[in-house]
Amino acid sequence: MSEIEERLNAVRQRINRAMKQSPYGEKVTLVAVTKFHPLEDMEEAIRLGVTQVGENRVQEMEMKHERLSVPVTWHLQGHLQKNKVKKAVAMADLIQSVDSLDILREIDKRAGQIGKVQDILLEFNISGEESKYGLAPKDFDEVVAQAQVCEHVRVKGLMCMAPEGAAEKELHAIFHQGRRMWEKLQTHFPVNQVSILSMGMSEDFETAIEEGATMVRIGTAIFGIRQKGEAK
Ligand SMILES: *Cc1c(COP(=O)(O)O)cnc(C)c1O
């Protein structure tokens, strides 16, 4: 068994255990985060049954998107620059990192130009960390109002992150708030549209699942330590 297979099996077991322990009883979708890992690793994960892959940078996604010969669902989850939105919309099945009104409007415009309705998640900076991208929770109403008039954008849910190295108690508090905000978001859109609550990474996905996540984004625990620097 390869290292990736062993790690992936372990992650799947941990997800299943956390799902059983969670009072929310949500089904949890695994997004394998392949950023900074070679295409071969992505291909291996797909052979092992992974159907959803996540990348942070448009350029890296583009390279892999062109070379990958099997179908997979593409998630983009890194901060987007406006001049990259056109390419992002051309490739991504789900853009998880809609972190400003400006980017929201740009996605709407670019999707409109190619006749697409782009599925997105609104990324909220719940912890309020200065270093993190994300919409401010206080702007919730304004963001919802804007999203509702974007005809080429479909809000599928919410994405959030916890601070690195946060204590268990703080993790619970942040993910709990994420869940509450997601439930509120559901009330503003058609029934069943807002179905994705994306929270939890290698270090904290079990806590996120206990707090009601429906999607986890996991890189390191499957593919190992990334060689290059981080792009948040
Ligand atoms: C890199 C990244 C992940 C995966 O992080 P790991 O700790 O390697 O699991 C998940 N979500 C986002 C937004 C990321 O940037």
Write the pLDDT tens digit of every residue in 107-162. Answer: 999 999 999 999 999 999 999 999 999 999 999 999 999 999 999 999 999 999 99
Kindly indicate the confidence band of residue 180, based on its pLDDT and cuts at 50, 70 and 90: very high
Q: Is the CB of 77 under 6 A from ligand 1?
A: yes
Taking alpha carbons only, the member of 167, 42, 29 closest to residue 96 is 29
pLDDT the model gives residue 169? 98
Whether residue 229 has pLDDT greater than 80: no
3 state SS of 197: strand
Which pair of structure tokens corresponds to residue 217?
């984004």
Q: Whose CA is nearest to atom 12 of ligand 1?
A: 77
Q: Is the CB of 150 under 6 A from ligand 1?
A: no
Q: Is the CB of 218 under 6 A from ligand 1?
A: yes
Q: What is the DSSP letter of 55?
A: E
Q: Is the CB of 34 under 6 A from ligand 1?
A: no
Ligand 1 atom showing the smallest separation from residue 33 Cα: 4
Q: Is the CB of 200 under 6 A from ligand 1?
A: no
Q: Is the CB of 220 under 6 A from ligand 1?
A: yes
Q: State which of 15, 33, 160 you would mutate to test the pocket of ligand 1, scoring each by most atoms of that ligand within 8 A of its C-beta.
A: 33
Kindly indicate the confidence band of residue 64, based on its pLDDT and cuts at 50, 70 and 90: very high
Taking alpha carbons only, the member of 232, 229, 218, 227 closest to residue 34 is 218
pLDDT the model gives residue 227? 79
Q: Is the CB of 80 under 6 A from ligand 1?
A: no
Question: What proportions of the chain, in percent to the nearest 5, are helix, strand and coil?
Answer: 45, 15, 40
Q: Is the CB of 118 under 6 A from ligand 1?
A: no
Average of per-residue pLDDT across 81-97? 98
Whether residue 230 has pLDDT greater than 60: no
3 state SS of 54: strand
Average pLDDT over the chain, rounded to whole?
Answer: 96
Q: What is the pTM of this model?
A: 0.97
CA distances from 119 to 4, 45, 76, 105, 178 (A): 29, 24, 11, 13, 19
Ligand 1 atom showing the smallest separation from residue 97 Cα: 13
Q: Whose CA is nearest to atom 6 of ligand 1?
A: 219
Q: Count CA within 13 A, CB hemisphere, residue 114.
A: 15
